[in-house]
Structure 1
Amino acid sequence: MDYDSRKAHWDRRTEIPLALASMLFLAAYAVRVLGHGLPTAWLDTCLAVLFAAWAVFAVDYAVRWRLSRQGLRFVRTHWLDTLVLILPLLRPLRVVRVYEAVQRRRGQPRLALYARVIVYAGLSALLLGFAGALAVYQQEHAAPDASIRTFGDAVWWTCATLATVGYGDVVPVTPMGRTIAAGIMAGGLALLGAVTGSFSSWLLQVFSSEGEGSGKPPGS
């Protein structure tokens, strides 16, 4: 059995458990960041959930590494898996993959390709935006001269950043906050490009079909 077959078998077995662990990680992190008045026992429980979920991610990474039989080359050739292990806040994006897998098990997906790309990009933007807002708020709200003081400020800034608007009314001032900002900017550009490209392709397909149906070349 080659690597692709072994990996596909492992993915089928771990898809949903890893997605649940990802959502638990995000929920526990959100409580840790936003639950300022919660009892210490609750915060400690959330911290334990964070470490347990990360341990699950580490085991998954180790199994993929072993299945690949590539040695240290696996880290270079699977840099995205390595990045997600280091930055587990990106793990909730696996929910999009789970949705795709469920649709495939039911037969043909209900949505056309272009609509699916837009839907998945929207889900990814929501998850990335929420995780980014949490991370920025954690780094910024207590910093001297910070303009992001509340979680609402962080959400507003994240929405403006993902939409590539960039009003500039609130901005991160800490080095880590700006590093997170750079990642959110890159993610926003990628998602916007996916949606714009899919929508443009769909329009071209529609116009081409209309031109063929009328017997005239498109644009004539």
Structure 2
Amino acid sequence: MPLAAASLAFLAAYAVLVLTPHQDVASAVLLGVWLLFAVDYGVRWRLSGQGPRFARTHWLDTLVVLLPLLRPLRVVKLYEAVLRRHGRPRLPLHGRVITYAGVSVALLGFAGALAVYQQERGAPGAGMRTFGDAVWWTCATLTTVGYGDIAPVTPLGRLIAVGMMACGLALLGAVTGSFSSWLIQVFSREDDQQDGERPPG
């Protein structure tokens, strides 16, 4: 729960850093959140006794420490924690995948739009002049539509674009696969019910 709150604080501070002139306070919050994640990661590494294998078994936590833009994904874990705390049953697998994918798309999309706008604004030849342009580009990229009306021109902006494309393809594939699995289950149950209602031949 504290790390999920810190993830939201990171996202809010990053938005302030990019979109407003209050950069000193935002930078201090970003540094504090990074230190919190680094200390938490180091302590759990030490207590696990796994050595280097800890980085592989806790790959999301490793990426969160190394890549700041992935920190908001810690909020996804908050969903399961809230359900367990209130004693509510977990959703079926396909429901959890769709929920996680939806939250991940929203968080990554917002963070990615901020990151690419930070790199592209004011760059020579850049067509991304406002944050609204960045949001539009992010939506087109994550959904793999790719209209091409706006494209990053800076090297770091294009690197962010590659990451957004990969995330969009992965999340779209996860949602499509889960939805197809759910439809198959529904049709299978209907067929079983129809077979049970038929009189014996």
Same-fold call, TM cutoff 0.5: yes
Instruction: Choose the corresponding residue for 2:146, options 166, 170, 173.
Output: 166
For each residue in 1:38-57, what CA deviation from the matched residue of structure 2 results, as whole angstroms up to 9, or x when unmatched?
Answer: 3xxx3211111111111001
| Cα distance in structure 2, aligned partners of 1:117 and 1:108 | 17
Q: Percent identity?
A: 71
Contiguous gaps of at least 5 residues in structure 2: 197-201
User: Where does residue 24 of structure 1 map in the other structure?
Assistant: 9
User: Where does residue 9 of structure 1 map in the other structure?
Assistant: none
For each residue in 1:19-59, what CA deviation from the matched residue of structure 2 results, as whole angstroms up to 9, or x when unmatched?
Answer: 11111111111001011xx3xxx321111111111100110
Shift of 1:149: 1.4
Shift of 1:99: 1.2
Shift of 1:187: 0.9
Shift of 1:73: 4.5
Instruction: Choose the corresponding residue for 2:186, options 196, 201, 206.
Output: 206
| Cα distance in structure 1, aligned partners of 2:56 and 2:195 | 52
User: Where does residue 115 of structure 1 map in the other structure?
Assistant: 95
SS in 2 for 1:148: coil
| Cα distance in structure 2, aligned partners of 1:76 and 1:202 | 31
RMSD between superposed Cα atoms in Å: 1.7
User: Where does residue 11 of structure 1 map in the other structure?
Assistant: none
Aligned positions, number: 196
| Cα distance in structure 1, aligned partners of 2:56 and 2:3 | 23
Alignment of 1:49-198 (within 5 A): 49-75=29-55, 78-109=58-89, 111-198=91-178
Q: When the two structures are superposed, what TM-score results if normalisation uses the length of structure 1?
A: 0.83
For each residue in 1:137-185, what CA deviation from the matched residue of structure 2 results, as whole angstroms up to 9, or x when unmatched?
Answer: 0011121111111111110000000001011110111111111111111
Letter in 2 for 1:200: S
Shift of 1:116: 2.9
| Cα distance in structure 2, aligned partners of 1:200 and 1:103 | 25
User: Where does residue 7 of structure 1 map in the other structure?
Assistant: none
Q: When the two structures are superposed, what TM-score results if normalisation uses the length of structure 2?
A: 0.90
Instruction: Choose the corresponding residue for 1:44, options 24, 49, 55.
Output: 24
Contiguous gaps of at least 5 residues in structure 1: 1-15
Taking structure 1 as reference, are residues 110 and 72 closer, same or farther at Cα in structure 2, changes over 3 Å only? closer
More divergent stretch after superposition (82-91 vs 205-214): 82-91
| Cα distance in structure 2, aligned partners of 1:159 and 1:98 | 24
Letter in 2 for 1:70: Q
Shift of 1:65: 1.5
Letter in 1 for 2:13: A
Shift of 1:114: 2.3
Shift of 1:111: 4.1
Letter in 2 for 1:21: A
